[in-house]
A and B are shown apart, each in its own frame.
Chain A
Amino acid sequence: QLQLQESGPGLVKPSETLSLTCAVSGGSISTSSYYWGWIRQPPGKGLEWIGSIYYRGSTYYNPSLKSRVTISVDTSKNQFSLKLSSVTAADTAVYYCASNSGNYYADYWGQGTLVTVSS
């Protein structure tokens, strides 16, 4: 069974870049079965899809975040990463990484990590 674990700073200053990594265990990230995605949830609010990546590098981004988001994959480390630039308080959220079956739905999720944007 796949396991995913997010890591990264819990506090980011406004205008800086948020960077998170998701380590995948229990399976290879270089599989044709899955895409690898990021979802976030502001405190007390709903889920928002950020984007996803295939192990060969194809990326898919939420149009509303596309100009600020970069998702990358490191197959040698079995992990993938999220960068969100020019953050504001509105980017404060719990960030989840997930495996996306066929790039359609998330069947395994990380536990989530809270990132607060504040000076």
Chain B
Amino acid sequence: SYELTQPPSVSVSPGRTARITCSGDALPKQYGYWYQQKPGQAPVLVIYRDSERPSGIPERFSGSTSGTTVTLTISGVQAEDEADYYCQSADSSGETVFGGGTHLTVL
């Protein structure tokens, strides 16, 4: 088993750039994925395979990776982006792990 570590909270002003990090020793060997979850709703995939964006996800969402850290970047943050964000990874044996989640506050 392995762990993924996220900051509990990130705050950003509208129009600025938010960066949410996710760290884990397994990440150099495995892809990172990101989900957005708004209150009372199921999570929505916003980034897969470190930096790929599913259809329908705004271009302001992007992902990157460096060493043991994957990063979700939201450029030109909007009020509707306020939500919880979870990173996730999975190994070749099928074991899946989620990070603890980061609450993004749009000031």
Binding site for B on A (CB under 8 A): 35, 37, 39, 46-49, 52, 60, 62-64, 96, 100-101, 103-107, 109-112
Contacts and interface: CB of A to CB of B under 8 A. Distances in A.
Contacts of A39: 98
Contact of A60 (B45, B48, B94, B98): B94
A106 B95 contact: no
B97 interface: yes
B107 interface: no
Contacts of B96: 37, 49, 52, 60, 62, 100, 104
Interface residues of B, number: 23
A107 B42 contact: no
B90 A112 contact: no
Interface string B87-100: 01010011111111
Nearest to A97: B42
B94 A103 contact: yes
27 contacts: A37-B96, A46-B99, A47-B35, A47-B37, A47-B43, A47-B88, A49-B96, A52-B94, A60-B93, A60-B94, A60-B95, A60-B96, A62-B96, A63-B1, A63-B95, A96-B42, A96-B43, A103-B94, A104-B90, A105-B33, A105-B45, A105-B48, A105-B90, A106-B45, A107-B54, A109-B43, A109-B44
A24 B54 CA distance: 21
Interface in B40-62: 42-45, 48, 54
Contacts of A106: 35, 43, 45, 88
